[in-house]
Amino acid sequence: MNFTHFSVQKDDEGRRLDRLVRKFLCEEPLSLIHKSIRNGIVRINSLKKDAAYRVQKGDILDIADFLLQKTDGKPTASEKRSGESESVADTSSFFTDVFVNEDIRIINKAYGIPVQGGNKNIVSLDELIKAEYFASRRNKTGASLSFKPGPLHRIDRRTTGLVTFSQSLRGARLFSQALAEKRIKKEYLAVLQGKLNKMIEAEHFIEREEDTAANRGRQQTDGFKTVHVFTDSDEPSLEENTPSLRAKKAVSRIEPLATGFILEAGLDCTLARVIIETGRSHQIRAQAAFCGFPLLGDTAYGAKRFRFPDTPAGQELFLHAFSLSFEKNNPLQIPCKISAQMPPFFQRFVQRVLAPSRHFNVYCKQ
């Protein structure tokens, strides 16, 4: 009997044998995979092992050729979902790389692209990144047998800017740990409706709105539900008009950079720098609106309907994840500050509408 041999890599270490084998035979029932392991037509280092065996770096996974030939030349359901077997299209209109190493990939996302959860009409960033990852590692010696990259934080579909993806399990673990311990600072640029003259220190509790008919409609069309903001409470409670136990604390600092007037709409507006200490769903949109300065055009949170004439079709909001700041000498070897240039439509708006500001060159010319 002939076998094909696969070398277990660092990012495969600790996985159960049966779960690793499913990466190769994912169209087969688990019962067949277990039977193949028991019968020795799936082996480790030429020896029979239990299905629960935890593979180690350097192990050699042997799979009988006839098992692999069942799917030879055919993309599996798993491959179709992850993009492993798809050709990679030009992704330059969806994102550009800002920083890449063996552990982390930080990209500048375009407007209108969901980070996850795309459908047949809208491809997701997650799918595109996976497709590129597997295309670059196909038939590459030393490539992981099981690792798949994924987003380590998210921004809304209508938000542009920085999103970080894992390139290794080590990268995912270290970045997520730093994020949880608040050792990564996130800075956004936002155009707000209204004239903001002083900095706002926003500290609230946020929770998703109840499952109303309006929210169900938004879920179907936009893929999100609005959130509700509560104030003046140290701890969530079950009392009426106070945050429930599901509510989470949200902390943002909103600093005005420049103001202007939109003649076509008769609206004041403000370019603001927003630093968030927490990463809650719709945090900036909800807190800014609660403070009386919703994002320009954000009708879901009380802004007047508005679309700037000199913007792409479908573009409505001006919210950009501008920078990520890291500790010096961090283990992922990421520079202390990573920034992403504002998209052209955002820059044009700032140039045409907002009063000249010393901040403009800083944020536009990275």
pLDDT value of position 138: 59
pLDDT value of position 241: 52
Q: Are residues 65 and 87 in the same domain?
A: no
Structurally, the chain folds into a number of domains equal to: 3
| Nearest partner of 293 among 312, 319, 320, judged by Cα | 319
Q: What is the mean pLDDT of residues 11-33?
A: 87
Q: Write down the residue that tokens 């030009």 correspond to.
A: 90
Name residues whose C-beta falls within 8 Å of residue 67's C-beta, 6 or more positions apart in sequence. 24, 25, 28, 36, 41, 42
For the cut 80, the answer to whether the pLDDT of residue 216 exceeds it is no
For the cut 90, the answer to whether the pLDDT of residue 86 exceeds it is no
**Single residue among 15, 43, 74 that ends a domain in this structure:** 74
Distance between CA atoms of residues 190 and 254, nearest Å? 9
Q: Are residues 205 and 140 in the same domain?
A: no
Chain mean pLDDT for the chain? 82
On whether the CB atoms of residues 202 and 283 are closer than 8 A, the answer is: no
Calculate the alpha carbon distances from 280 to 61, 124, 247 in Å: 42, 21, 10
Q: Are residues 226 and 343 in the same domain?
A: yes
Q: Are residues 266 and 221 in the same domain?
A: yes
Give residue 58's domain range: 3-74
Q: Are residues 278 and 217 in the same domain?
A: yes
Q: Read off the pTM.
A: 0.77
Q: What is the mean pLDDT of residues 80-88?
A: 47
For the cut 90, the answer to whether the pLDDT of residue 193 exceeds it is yes
For the cut 60, the answer to whether the pLDDT of residue 45 exceeds it is yes
Buried-state track 14-36, b at ≥16 Cβ within 10 A, e below 16? ebebbebbbbbbeebeeeebbeb
**Single residue among 113, 147, 180 that ends a domain in this structure:** 180
Calculate the alpha carbon distances from 62 to 20, 56, 122, 205 in Å: 12, 14, 39, 53
Q: How is 276-308 classified by DSSP, letter by letter?
A: ESS--TTHHHHHHHHTT-PBTT-GGGTPPP---
Domain CATH number, residue 357: 3.30.2350
Helix %, strand %, coil % of the chain (to 5): 25, 25, 50
Q: Are residues 106 and 150 in the same domain?
A: yes
Structure tokens at 165: 């993806």
Domain CATH number, residue 62: 3.10.290.10
Return the higher-pLDDT residue of 212 and 246: 246
On whether the CB atoms of residues 276 and 252 are closer than 8 A, the answer is: yes
Return the higher-pLDDT residue of 209 and 305: 305
Distance between CA atoms of residues 161 and 366, nearest Å? 13
Rounded to whole angstroms, the maximal C-alpha distance in the chain is: 78
Q: Name the most confidently modeled range: 21-30, 66-75, 217-226, 236-245.
A: 21-30
Distance between CA atoms of residues 274 and 254, nearest Å? 5
Total Cβ atoms within 10 A of residue 136: 10
Q: Are residues 322 and 233 in the same domain?
A: yes
Q: What is the mean pLDDT of residues 128-157?
A: 81
Q: Are residues 154 and 199 in the same domain?
A: no
Q: Are residues 134 and 38 in the same domain?
A: no
Q: Are residues 198 and 120 in the same domain?
A: no
Return the higher-pLDDT residue of 86 and 306: 306
**Single residue among 134, 165, 180 that ends a domain in this structure:** 180
Q: Are residues 246 and 345 in the same domain?
A: yes
For the cut 60, the answer to whether the pLDDT of residue 270 exceeds it is yes
pLDDT value of position 4: 85
Q: What is the mean pLDDT of residues 120-149?
A: 78
Sheet of 60-64, strands arranged across: 3-7, 60-64, 42-44
pLDDT value of position 77: 40
Structure tokens at 350: 């700032």
Q: Are residues 172 and 84 in the same domain?
A: yes
For the cut 50, the answer to whether the pLDDT of residue 196 exceeds it is yes
Distance between CA atoms of residues 323 and 341, nearest Å? 9
Distance between CA atoms of residues 331 and 327, nearest Å? 9
Q: What is the mean pLDDT of residues 12-41?
A: 88
pLDDT value of position 240: 46
Domain CATH number, residue 162: 3.30.2350.10
Q: Write down the residue that tokens 């001006």 correspond to.
A: 318
